[in-house]
Amino acid sequence: MDTILNHDLLIQNLNAFSIAYTQEQLAQLDRYARLLVEWNQKMNLTAITSPDGIAVLHFADSLTLLKSVNLQAGQSMLDIGTGAGFPAIPVKIFCPQAKLTMMDSLNKRLTFLQTVLSDLGLQATVQHARAEEAARETALREQFDLVTARAVASLQVLAEYCLPYVKVGGTFAAMKGPSCPEELAAAKNAIALLGGQVEQVDEYTLSDGSVRHIAIIKKIKPTDEKYPRHGSKIAKKPL
């Protein structure tokens, strides 16, 4: 069988971050990788499809989230702009008891994600919506213990998309690259306006030398009803 996922490299990264794993979890990740590569031939899900890239830049990168947040059984997690399911599905594989919702504005991606969930025997909700619109829904607004986003937008913009979904006392975990410190400085006003407070910033170096940051932002007060604004306003005039 051809190699879709570099298991040795994945295990090397998991061990480096002291992330415990089972053979079943590795098998689920392997199946996920196969579906990703297979579906990527039909639609643009990701530019990263090499066995090493999937192991490090998709799976290990996503799972660093488990080092920065303590996701308990029964807690709710929303992944905004989930794309091909990162970090949501790797996290769900390792925390199957968490209540996961994945949101994306592109319906065909959600078709892929539903296939993955079914194939891997995982339960999760997929939400076809634009983040700035769905945040107006009572069933979603300030309802989540943990909200994540990875490679979606600058933090100044991302805060307005994500913080309205976080319940007071919950966490927004922004998964960013090397520019995180600069982005945090630019987003300081937005985070405060939206009811957030930066608690910590964790730095991780993957085995290929890539630097990742996870900014942990606590929701300390409700978000004003006027946020989020229309998508065009968020883009043109960030808070």
Give pLDDT tens digits along the chain (239 positions): 468 999 999 999 999 999 999 999 999 999 999 999 999 999 999 999 999 999 999 999 999 999 999 999 899 999 999 999 999 999 999 999 999 999 999 999 999 999 999 999 999 999 999 999 999 999 999 999 999 999 778 999 999 999 999 999 999 999 999 999 999 999 999 999 999 999 999 999 999 999 999 999 999 999 999 999 998 899 899 89
CA distance 78 to 226: 21
CA distance 178 to 215: 12
Instruction: Specify the fold of 71-236.
Output: Rossmann fold (3.40.50)
Crossing angle of helices 180-193 and 155-162, in 10° steps, is: 40
67-120 pLDDT, tens digit each? 999 999 899 999 999 999 999 999 999 999 999 999 999 999 999 999 999 999
What are the angstrom distances between the C-alpha of 36 and each of 39, 149, 182, 187? 5, 19, 33, 33
Give kind and range of the element (H or E) at residue 62.
Answer: helix 61-63
CA distance 211 to 208: 9
